[in-house]
Amino acid sequence: MRCLNMVLALCILAGAAHSARAELDPAEWNDLRSEWNRLFRTSPMKDPIKKIQRGDFFGVAAELSKAPNHVKAVEAYVKDLKEMKLAPLLKEKLEVLEALRNADDPKALKLLATTVKLSAADLKGLKKQEEEEKEGLERAKKSLTKTKQGYSGSAEALQAKAAQDVKLELFPPFVTHVIKVRRTALAGFTGARSHKALQWLLKKGLSDRDWEVRVGAVEALAEIESEDGVVEALEDALKDREPPVRIAALSSLVTHEAKKARKGILACLEDDEWEVRVAALEAIEALGFKDVATFDALIEAMQKEEGRLCDDFDMLLEALTGKSYYGDPSLWKDWWKANREKYEARERGEGPDPAAEPDLPRPPKAHKGPQVTASFYGIETKSHNIIFILDVSGSMNEKANLKNIPTGKGPVVTGSGHKPDSGPDPGDRPQGDTRLEVLQWQLKRSIKMLPTKATFNVIFYSDKFEVWSPEMIRATPANKRKVFDYIDQQSAAGRTNIFDALEKAFQIATSGPRMGGAGDPRYASNVGGADTFYLLSDGSPNTGRIPKPEDIIAEVRKINKLRKVVIHTVAVGGGFNRSFMERLARDNGGKCVVVE
């Protein structure tokens, strides 16, 4: 048998010279397939992913939790686990997946698709096991009392909690491992260049039963220029039963500059899923549609919107016309009624661009458009589905600069001047002068504003994160009173784990029954979820599954590519990472407020 390393090297070199590839001969292909089988079809006894699902790695948990400084002991163990067990295995897997990518063969694409499915199953198993261990942690906490300094109770109870904490520390490196494998396998579809491989994408990839494989095929077709039928296939994908496939198809059509797909793109403005509608708005702007049919579709679809999407429509219409009507569908309808004939004349070549005319109707100064539903540290939103992600690390105990905090005098009202539903009163000022106390007050005022039909959730984070509710909650007066009590119980301690809290927010935001809960939240439906996040921090991220700011930005970009959540950021104090907070907001359609 030929040397497998030679086969991998040849495949990788082939990737550097795409146009001059030669097909693998049967012996080379057999070696590559055998290596894939060894790594991805391995016995559960040899597979670390399967082992942790069976609890094999938890044998050390009790012993580690007894160490005098068990935090450092766990960190050392996790580091060894990543470097000695997972890193070499991941390297081998990625090399084989890269070789399959560069093989440019339908058989290789089929193995990549199988890898995606196996990885999804692994991730689902890990998540299930992790949830079971979290339930164990909650059971351990029931016999303890939470204090400002942490937890108190019997030595036995504290030991049981520490053991569960250690177990949960073991999951992040395995989750990261599986996500990297799955994403690499999906990216492998982009290696398709031969006619046979491209036909597999068009005929097999786009019709695969697994929607993630279909997404991978759609994204790979974005890079194909010469194959017949690609744009038509992407247009068909706009009708796929799963929202992520439709969103990916819209993005790929933009890459192809497929203006002839206008009819299908405009139809997506009426899609049942708001993420698809937002992706359609992005496609319309990117492709520069300014015809009458586009305005007809935009104005009609906007009349059915509420909340954040009214602003999304308004921003696109402003980009197309140079005018803004404050996200008010009725005002845009009146504007179009007054100006439609001018746009028809322009299409016939009988007049100038109506948007350039100075005598267009001006927006009225006072109007009763969609109301602002919440304001947090001065950042307003019309969203009806919000998650607050809030820093309670140790530095939040430091004094706040109250001069830079909104005063909050007078009753809490919405942005349109309407009093919110009844509920607890947050008061005119914070109860103290620490950053945490100011945060608690601002959060209460923001939640107080929410109308009853709105939904929300709250996540507090330091080293770990704590979620108020496993699902989005209606903003009823009773629920507001409950969350106010929860907010008052918070204390500040620990480091700054921003990514894990953000990742959890995406999981809550994608809690729909069809695709949520399958693992990586990059592909998930929003049924019952959220479209807007507020993230507050007074420091720079320094712990968690992804601790580096630049890596967090990159990962959130991948997660949010098909999710379309707006992320607003609030940086308080003096130790925050300003560029990180500003970029996180900018990259995700939000605003950043700095309160020094």
Query: Distance between CA atoms of 302 and 439, rounded to whole angstroms?
Result: 35
Contacts of 245 (CB under 8 A, 6+ apart): 211, 214, 215, 218, 237
Same domain, 408 and 347: no
Q: How far is CA 459 from CA 469, 480, 483, 565, in A?
A: 9, 15, 11, 16
Q: Is residue 202 part of a domain?
A: no
For the segment 367-385, what is each residue's pLDDT rounded down to a tens digit? 545 678 999 999 999 999 9
Same domain, 537 and 432: yes
For the segment 530-550, what is each residue's pLDDT rounded down to a tens digit? 999 999 999 999 999 999 999
For the segment 496-508, what is each residue's pLDDT rounded down to a tens digit? 999 999 999 998 8
Query: Distance between CA atoms of 134 and 130, rounded to whole angstroms?
Result: 6
Longest dimension (CA), the chain: 85
Q: Is residue 300 part of a domain?
A: no
With b meaning 16 or more CB within 10 Å and e meaning fewer, what string describes 118-130? bbbebbebbbebb
Task: State the average pLDDT over residues 418-432.
Answer: 68
Same domain, 313 and 425: no
Same domain, 357 and 415: no
Task: State the average pLDDT over residues 89-117.
Answer: 94
Task: State the average pLDDT over residues 158-182.
Answer: 88
Q: Given a cut of 80, is residue 38 above it in pLDDT? A: yes
Q: What does the pLDDT read at residue 251?
A: 97
Task: State the average pLDDT over residues 553-582.
Answer: 94
Q: Given a cut of 80, is residue 513 above it in pLDDT? A: no
Q: Given a cut of 50, is residue 525 above it in pLDDT? A: no
Q: What does the pLDDT read at residue 5?
A: 58
Same domain, 509 and 570: yes
Q: Given a cut of 70, is residue 323 above it in pLDDT? A: yes
Same domain, 398 and 358: no
Q: Is residue 277 part of a domain?
A: no
Rg (CA), the chain: 27
Confidence of residue 147 (pLDDT cuts 50, 70, 90): confident
Q: Given a cut of 80, is residue 11 above it in pLDDT? A: no
Q: Given a cut of 90, is residue 436 above it in pLDDT? A: yes
Q: What is the DSSP string of 248-266?
A: HHHHHHHHTT-GGGHHHHH
For the segment 227-284, what is each residue's pLDDT rounded down to a tens digit? 789 999 999 999 999 999 999 999 999 999 999 999 999 999 999 999 999 999 999 9
Q: What does the pLDDT read at residue 461?
A: 97
Tell me if 590 sits within 8 A of 566, measured CB to CB. Answer: yes
The CATH number assigned to the domain holding 520 equals 3.40.50.410
Tell me if 210 sits within 8 A of 189, measured CB to CB. Answer: no
Confidence of residue 419 (pLDDT cuts 50, 70, 90): low
Q: Given a cut of 70, is residue 524 above it in pLDDT? A: no
Confidence of residue 82 (pLDDT cuts 50, 70, 90): confident
Q: How many CA atoms, within 13 angstroms, populate the side-chain half-sphere of residue 280?
A: 29
Confidence of residue 511 (pLDDT cuts 50, 70, 90): low
For the segment 426-435, what is each residue's pLDDT rounded down to a tens digit? 776 778 889 9
Q: Which domain holds residue 174?
A: 4-137+154-190
Same domain, 351 and 426: no
Same domain, 528 and 569: yes
Query: Distance between CA atoms of 4 and 16, rounded to whole angstroms?
Result: 19
Query: Distance between CA atoms of 325 and 308, rounded to whole angstroms?
Result: 14
Contacts of 141 (CB under 8 A, 6+ apart): 151, 161
Number of separate domains in the chain = 3
Could you say which DSSP state residue 592 is in?
Answer: E
Tell me if 387 sits within 8 A of 533, measured CB to CB. Answer: yes
Q: What does the pLDDT read at residue 337?
A: 94
Query: Distance between CA atoms of 333 and 99, rounded to whole angstroms?
Result: 55
Tell me if 41 sits within 8 A of 35, measured CB to CB. Answer: no
Confidence of residue 42 (pLDDT cuts 50, 70, 90): confident
Q: Is residue 389 part of a domain?
A: yes
Torsion of CA 347, 348, 349, 352, to 10 degrees: -50
